Amino acid sequence: MEPPMSAAFDRNQSAGYLINHLARIFATALAEEIRPLGLAPGQFMVLLELWREEGQTQRSLTGRLDVEQATMANTLARMERDGLVVRRPHPQDGRAQSIHLTKRARALEGPATAAATAVNERMLRRLPAPSRAAFLEAMRAVIAEARRDA
Total number of residues shown for the chain: 150
**Residue pLDDT, tens place only, 27-38:** 999 999 999 999
* Rounded distance between C-alpha atoms, residue 48 and residue 112, angstroms: 9
In the DSSP assignment, the letter for residue 64 is H
**Residue pLDDT, tens place only, 42-96:** 999 999 999 999 999 999 999 999 999 999 999 999 999 999 999 998 888 878 8
Query: Mean pLDDT, to the nearest integer, of 91-112?
Result: 93
